[in-house]
Amino acid sequence: MRDSKVIAPDLLAWYDRHARTLPWRVPPGGPPADPYRVWLSEVMLQQTTVAAVKAYFLRFTALWPTVQDLAAAEDARVMAEWAGLGYYARARNLLACARAVAARGGFPDTREGLAALPGIGPYTSAAIASIAFGRTETVVDGNVERVVARLFAVDTPLPRARPQLTALAGQLTPTERPGDYAQAMMDLGATICTPRSPACVICPVQTECEARRQGIAAELPRKLAKAPKPEREGVAWVARQGQALLLEHRPAKGLLGGTLAFPSARWDGRDLPPPGPAQWREIGQVRHVFTHFSLTLRVMSGQLTGNPERGELVPLRQIDREALPGLMRKVWDMAQGEIAA
Ligand code: SF4
């Protein structure tokens, strides 16, 4: 049976030489990482790539070096800095969690304690407990699932295989250096045991890998065919008055909650009229893919001929494209031609 005695030593020796250098990490064998930095990076990395997260992480930690600093930040400022990372519920939970941690005087040092905080699920609590507090916890993300499915040649498709993969991953987790081991597994999955073409010939655990032995590595993990994403439609209004555009803060709860946005309707379940009187003209459509649906948004443009019924007029020069969520950046980019005309 494969267990921590056979996998962990080879994997850790490889990690000591090849660990990725990432802004939230300490070098292999170093002191435990700062739980604030581990937590912040893990929340940012949910559904977002390492390459995209790096700049956001550096900016957040420059603005708010400690969890207390973040807890004291204004909601709107944090939401604006988060813009572009998507999944805005994460930013709201980030603030709620920072405030809960600051109120209790620091992060709990167990998986159970961490999992009780807002927005921290099984994966993130295990990652912080092992990487920042040296707890022997098993950290299972998509990368780890893939590596484990291959090491043990698990044929059951995902997501059904998940409990089995978690149990097998648990067998492999060592009591020595569990934090480095967790990061080594992540690195192995991200750099060598990649989804389409695993580089088995340079893999540090190749002699223990059943999928490699059977020649089926690239076929695993198997996955059930995905149902196509449902389609939604909606409308966004680019309302102008002189050198100002109408923007609104979206409701705190729900899609893109709390972000600054062009008034819009229907796609999010809100059946609202145009935000004010104007001769509306369609200038195009934008497409955007959310986790659970794909969206086509018709973009309407018009000069307001009376007072707006919601939102606030913001001078053009004060509108910061980077502070808009990704969907609204697409609307903004489309509106630019109109504004310049
Ligand atoms: Fe992945 Fe190949 Fe290494 Fe097996 S030998 S863990 S399939 S890279």
Cα(162)–Cα(280) distance, integer angstroms: 50
Kindly state if the Cβ of 151 falls inside 6 Å of ligand 1: yes
Residue 304 belongs to domain with CATH number: 3.90.79.10
Residue 43 pLDDT: 94
Catalytic residue among 42, 137, 145, 208: 42
Which residues 6+ apart lie within 8 Å of 55 measured at CB? Answer: none
Same domain for 196 and 264?
A: no
| Distance in Å, CA 317 to ligand 1 centroid | 53
Same domain for 193 and 103?
A: yes
Ligand 1 closest atom vs CA 217? 7
The tens digit of pLDDT for each residue in 123-181 reads 999 999 999 999 999 999 999 999 999 999 999 999 999 999 999 999 999 999 999 99
Same domain for 111 and 205?
A: yes
Q: Are 84 and 49 in contact (CB under 8 A)?
A: no
Same domain for 243 and 146?
A: no
Lowest mean pLDDT among 196-205, 225-234, 274-283: 225-234
The tens digit of pLDDT for each residue in 207-254 reads 999 999 999 999 999 998 888 899 999 999 999 999 999 999 998 888
Same domain for 197 and 249?
A: no
Same domain for 114 and 78?
A: yes
Q: Which residues form the domain of 166?
A: 4-219
Domain membership flag for residue 226: no
Domain membership flag for residue 225: no
| Distance in Å, CA 23 to ligand 1 centroid | 27
Among 150, 197, 222, residue to substitute to test ligand 1 (most atoms within 8 Å of Cβ): 150
Q: What is the mean pLDDT of residues 265-281?
A: 94
Residue 91 pLDDT: 87
* High-pLDDT (> 90) share of the chain, %: 83
Same domain for 100 and 239?
A: no
Same domain for 10 and 116?
A: yes
Confidence band (pLDDT; 50, 70, 90) for 205?
A: very high
Q: What is the mean pLDDT of residues 314-331?
A: 91
Cα(112)–Cα(97) distance, integer angstroms: 15
Quick check: is 42 catalytic? yes
| Boundary residue ending a domain (199, 219, 239) | 219
Cα(245)–Cα(84) distance, integer angstroms: 20
Residue nearest to atom 7 of ligand 1 (CA): 217
Residue 4 pLDDT: 59
Whole-Å CA distances, 106 to 10, 16, 101, 117, 311: 35, 30, 5, 12, 38
Kindly state if the Cβ of 212 falls inside 6 Å of ligand 1: yes
Question: Closest by alpha carbon to 23, among 53, 64, 67?
Answer: 53
Residue 17 belongs to domain with CATH number: 1.10.340.30
| Boundary residue ending a domain (219, 242, 276) | 219
Q: What is the mean pLDDT of residues 194-211?
A: 96
Same domain for 170 and 309?
A: no
Residue 83 pLDDT: 87
Residue 340 has pLDDT above 70, yes or no: no
| Boundary residue ending a domain (164, 189, 219) | 219
Same domain for 172 and 256?
A: no
Domain membership flag for residue 45: yes
The tens digit of pLDDT for each residue in 285-298 reads 999 999 889 999 99
Cα(40)–Cα(142) distance, integer angstroms: 19
Same domain for 177 and 252?
A: no
Same domain for 242 and 183?
A: no
The tens digit of pLDDT for each residue in 100-124 reads 999 999 999 999 999 999 999 999 9
The tens digit of pLDDT for each residue in 55-101 reads 999 999 999 999 999 999 999 899 989 988 877 788 889 999 999 99
| Distance in Å, CA 176 to ligand 1 centroid | 23
* Residue count of the chain: 341
**What is the count of structural domains for the chain?**
2
Cα(101)–Cα(113) distance, integer angstroms: 11
Would the pTM of this model clear 0.85, i.e. be above it? no
Whole-Å CA distances, 18 to 11, 22, 147, 187, 272: 10, 12, 17, 9, 54
Kindly state if the Cβ of 198 falls inside 6 Å of ligand 1: yes
Tokens 């307001």: give the residue: 304
